[in-house]
Every structure is written in structure tokens, then in C-alpha cells.
Structure 1
Amino acid sequence: MTPKTIDACVRDNLETYFRDLDGEEPHSMHEMLIQVVEKPLLEVVMKHAAGNQSKAAEWLGINRNTLRRKLTEHKLL
């Protein structure tokens, strides 16, 4: 069995989210999705970068100061 791609997993979970809303209107979905995806992304990248923020920032394509801010926001420091 071929593993699902990240976008397929996100799509499936969004479909489940809408189904679970049972007709209710969603709100702030972009912010919600960014929050739930960004924290595990940072956790995994920092783990694989052995805690090296400069390397992790480079891998993520963001400035190291931006990475530090995001790590602080997600209480990962």
C-alpha cells in the first residue's frame, strides 16, 4: 500500500471536519489550519536538525529570528 501524501491527508481531514460540522458554518479556518500544522512541523524539523535553529530555519526557508518567534509562540523553546 502506498503511503498517503501530506496534501491527501489534509484534504481527507478537512472533509471530515466539514462532515463533523453537520451543517454549521466554519470560521477562521486558515488560522486554525496554520496553527495545527505549524507546531508539529516545527517539532519534527527541530528534531531532525538536532535543535540547530540555523539549520532548521534554512530547511524551512525562513529567517532564524522568524523561527525563534514561531518556536516561542508554540511554546517549543
Structure 2
Amino acid sequence: MFEQRVNSDVLTVATVNSQDQVTQKPLRDSVKQALKNYFAQLNNQDVNDLYELVLAEVEQPLLDMVMQYTRGNQTRAALMMGINRGTLRKKLKKYGMN
């Protein structure tokens, strides 16, 4: 089970193990582990567009949650994300979220 919490400037992921113990780790550690798993499965195959793959895995849920949090208010969402509204609209369109 995963739960996201805001801890000052660090996004964390809480995991609950079979003994119901909760541990917190930075989101970046989860991304790093996912990449290690990905590389382990490659068997020396060439990879293209890894940056876009990782970015889409993070950006799409980020946009989804921010838009839910702001109840669809694009101006507020853009301010919250630190981007301009035009950039937000472009990203929403990219993921079919407009």
C-alpha cells in the first residue's frame, strides 16, 4: 500500500509491510528503485526516450492530482506547479486530460 505525504520539501512514499509497519522514504528513492528494476530487465538492449518514459510516469499523475486538488482550476493549478497556464494546458492536452 502506498500513500503520499508532504514532508517539508520532500515528497515521501509510505509503505506498509505484512507486519503493518509503516516506513517512509523519499519519492526519488522509489523512482531510483524502479529504474534499477527497469535496467535489470533490459539484458543490454538499447533504450530510447528513457527521459520521456520516466517523465510521463511522474508528470501524468502529478497533473491528475493537482487538477483534482484545484477542482479543475487551471490558473490555480499552474500557480501551484510553478508553470504558466499555457504550459499547463499543453501538458494536459499531451496526456488527453483537457
Q: Do both share a fold (TM > 0.5)? A: yes
Q: Secondary structure at the match of 2:25?
A: coil
Q: Equivalences for 1:1-77 in 2 at 5 Å?
A: 1-77=22-98
Compute the displacement of 1:46 (Å).
0.6
Gaps of at least 5 residues in structure 2 are 1-21
Name the SS for the 2:65 alignment partner: helix
- Please give the alpha-carbon distance, in whole angstroms, between the structure 1 residues aligned to 2:47 and 2:60: 22
Q: CA deviation at 1:54?
A: 0.7
| Unpaired stretches in structure 1, ≥5 consecutive residues | none
Determine which structure has the larger strand proportion and give its number: 2
Residue by residue over 1:8-51, the C-alpha shift from the partner in whole angstroms, topping out at 9 and shown as x without a partner, is 11000000000111221222211221122211110011111111
Q: Identity of paired residues, percent?
A: 38
CA distance in 2, matches of 1:72, 1:24: 32
Q: Which of 1 and 2 has greater Rg?
A: 2
> What amino acid is aligned across from residue 49 of structure 1 in structure 2?
T
Question: Larger helix proportion, structure 1 or 2?
Answer: 1
Q: Which runs of 4+ in 1 moved over 3 A?
A: none
Distance 1:24 1:16 in 2: 14
